Amino acid sequence: MTASELNLEIRKKKSFLCVGLDIDITRIPAHLHKEPNPVFSFNRAIIDATADLAVAYKPNLAFYESMGTPGMQQLEMTVDYIRSKDPNLFIIADAKRGDIGNTAEQYAKAFFIHYDFDAITLSPYMGRDSIEPFLQFQGKWAIVLALTSNVGASDFQLLNVNQDQPLYEHVLMQAVSWGTTDNLMFVVGATRPEYFHNIRRIAPEHFLLVPGIGAQGGSLDMVVDHAKSSGGGLLINNSRGILYAGNGLDFAEKARKAALEMRAGFKL
Amino acid sequence: MTASELNLEIRKKKSFLCVGLDIDITRIPAHLHKEPNPVFSFNRAIIDATADLAVAYKPNLAFYESMGTPGMQQLEMTVDYIRSKDPNLFIIADAKRGDIGNTAEQYAKAFFIHYDFDAITLSPYMGRDSIEPFLQFQGKWAIVLALTSNVGASDFQLLNVNQDQPLYEHVLMQAVSWGTTDNLMFVVGATRPEYFHNIRRIAPEHFLLVPGIGAQGGSLDMVVDHAKSSGGGLLINNSRGILYAGNGLDFAEKARKAALEMRAGFKL
């Protein structure tokens, strides 16, 4: 998928919404535990309830890996289900990988070919050769962590390197030269809106994947007002605020309501 | 496992050897492809041939994930096999994860409980709260990337932050305060031996996991002479140099020969 195609979906659906599928088995409604694949059943209901309101889904790999083989099988079923539901939905593997070249190639094959994800999140710590193998796949994307939404982001990402330039800016400046606006995005947390201006100065047209709305406390208004590019260029993630909006028989209906409320805030 | 216990194994076996199980299915001997679980069959033969010469094994998750569910099943079989072979072998998940707290908890559960690894490699980019959940498990270890062995390490890890202190030193200095010498190690590549002195100044007694010998060009002599702690404190990894020492029917014998040669270089 190209950036233009993704921006077109955003305009058609009037939505920047990315639904984070971070499924904690202990938090899904009790009645689903009787199903053979409870996590997939939960995801399918969430997808059915939100597919016309979201442009992207983002399963976080940790939650599937922690269940072992059955978890990974339900991840595959989930990706396949999203694909069959609407081929224009953008599917992100939230994996935050980052390794040397020959390993990166294996991860790229795993996520882009075996699982058919559109994109994968990557940590920049190991530098250019840990990212480049992901940029070799037509229509696929690397999403590089720049400034994350968690407290620990200030431990290293905000340290000044060279002439008073924080590390995350240096990551952005270097990384924009590694790929294009059609294969490279950045993760920028909603919890640090004071940095959006600097980020857009360095990467005015790149897509930004923005976590941190909802449970982590980021403001949707701040993101929408300050992080958009001219074409749109935002995927705004919400995981827990949608997934666990309800936990009874009507959990999918509640999830839809939460997604609708969020979409209203996009001002599109 | 504690640091003392691991150092004791090192002295008993006269070996710092960690065998990296980075199994590229296209590189394993042809005759194994007829087996139902070729990667596991390959690993089992490598483990049988090297278990008395190695103190640790390090499967790289990328190579298993790229095969989907059958890959992850063979990873489980491999970890179980190492455990049954010798309970004192140290098993590292080379996963280079790093995510926000609630996700980190899921990864910790996945690797320490579901798979029963002793340790996991982690990227420090997201800071303290992305590492701490891994330090809560008795006898288990977080292995934080400090200075990696690849070319891209110089993109960010060697940048000067604050008063002319490279980022990797800052990572070391902060991270040593997060855990103890019994639950925290660091990855330091063999390809940058000129930095060992600084690293040992900051973390004199922490275990270092050292990749980069062999295919990546690091010198074993330099590592052994300059990176040891007073108690030992080294796990020196070799993956391709052992796994693919041969590729015929005698591959395991060739792997043992390569491991023996490496052990001779440890000067223990």
Which residues span the domain enclosing A257? 3-264
pLDDT at B67: 87
Q: Which two tokens stand for residue B14?
A: 């006269």
Residues sharing a CB contact under 8 Å with residue B225, sequence separation 6 or more, in sequence order: none
pLDDT at B215: 75
Short-list B112, B171, B176, CA closest to B140:
B112
Q: Which two tokens stand for residue B117?
A: 């690894």
Interface of B with A in 204-233 (CB under 8 A): 216
**Dist CA B192 CA B212 (whole Å):** 9
**What is the torsional sign of CA B116, B121, B126, B129?**
positive
B68 vs B220, residue with greater confidence: B220
Locate the chain A residue with the closest alpha carbon to B71. Answer: A69
A120 — contact with chain B (CB < 8 Å)?
no
Measured between beta carbons, the chain B residues lying within 8 angstroms of A22 are 102-103
Integer Rg of chain A from CA: 18
Short-list B184, B190, B204, CA closest to B237:
B190
The alpha carbon torsion through A56, A62, A65, A66 (nearest 10 deg) reads -130
Q: What does the mean pLDDT of chain A come to?
A: 95
**Dist CA B212 CA B95 (whole Å):** 16
- Give A12→chain B minimum CA distance, Å: 32
**What is the torsional sign of CA A105, A106, A112, A113?**
positive
**What is the torsional sign of CA B9, B13, B17, B18?**
negative
Interface test with A, best of B63, B126, B154 (most A CBs within 10 A): B126
Active-site hit among A96, A109, A140, A267: A96
In order of A23, A264, B103, the CA distances from A239 in angstroms are 9, 17, 12
Q: Which two tokens stand for residue B224?
A: 């052994």
A200 contacts A219 by C-beta, under 8 angstroms: no
What confidence tens digit (pLDDT) does each residue in A31-60 have?
A: 999 999 999 999 999 999 999 999 999 999
Average pLDDT on A199-215 reads: 94
CATH (domain of A259): 3.20.20.70
Interface of B with A in 7-66 (CB under 8 A): 22, 24, 60, 62-63, 65-66
Angle between helices A251-264 and A38-50 (to 10 degrees): 40
ipTM of the complex: 0.94
Average pLDDT on B215-242 reads: 93
pLDDT at A81: 98
User: What total of structural domains would you count in chain B?
Assistant: 1
Angle (CA) A257 A219 A12, round 5°: 55
A98 — contact with chain B (CB < 8 Å)?
yes
Locate the chain A residue with the closest alpha carbon to B95. Answer: A97
Contact B151 A127 (CB under 8 A): yes
Q: Is the pLDDT of residue B236 over 90?
A: yes
**Dist CA A234 CA A34 (whole Å):** 38
B157 contacts B168 by C-beta, under 8 angstroms: yes
pLDDT at B159: 94
pLDDT at B218: 87
- The structure's pTM equals 0.95
Average pLDDT on B158-172 reads: 91
Catalytic residues of B: 96
What confidence tens digit (pLDDT) does each residue in A208-267 have?
A: 999 999 778 889 999 999 999 999 999 999 999 999 999 999 999 999 999 999 999 999
Buried-state track A43-77, b at ≥16 Cβ within 10 A, e below 16: bbbbbebbbebbbbbbbbbbbbbbbbbebbbbbbb
Assign A67 a pLDDT band (cuts: 50, 70, 90).
Answer: confident
pLDDT at B120: 98
| Nearest CB neighbour to A106, from listed B62, B126, B154 | B62
- Give A200→chain B minimum CA distance, Å: 21
Interface of A with B in 130-149 (CB under 8 A): 130-131, 145, 148-149
Q: Is the pLDDT of residue B83 over 80?
A: yes
* Secondary structure class of A235 (helix, strand, coil): strand
Contact A60 B128 (CB under 8 A): no
Short-list B208, B186, B150, B184, CA closest to B16:
B208
% of residues, chain A, pLDDT over 70: 100
Interface test with A, best of B61, B72, B73, B106 (most A CBs within 10 A): B106
Average pLDDT on B29-48 reads: 96
- Give B36→chain A minimum CA distance, Å: 17
**Cα A136 from chain centroid?**
20
Q: Are strands B119-122 and B141-147 parallel, antiparallel or unpaired?
A: parallel
| Lowest mean pLDDT segment, chosen from A54-63, B5-14, B101-110, B148-157 | B101-110
**Cα A65 from chain centroid?**
17
B173 — contact with chain A (CB < 8 Å)?
no
Contact A126 B150 (CB under 8 A): yes
- Give A8→chain B minimum CA distance, Å: 30
DSSP string, B96-150: EE---HHHHHHHHIIIIIIS--SEEEE--TT-HHHHGGGGGSTT-EEEEEEE-SS
Q: Residue B138 burial by CB count (10 A; 0-12/13-18/19+): exposed, middle or buried? A: exposed
Average pLDDT on B210-236 reads: 92
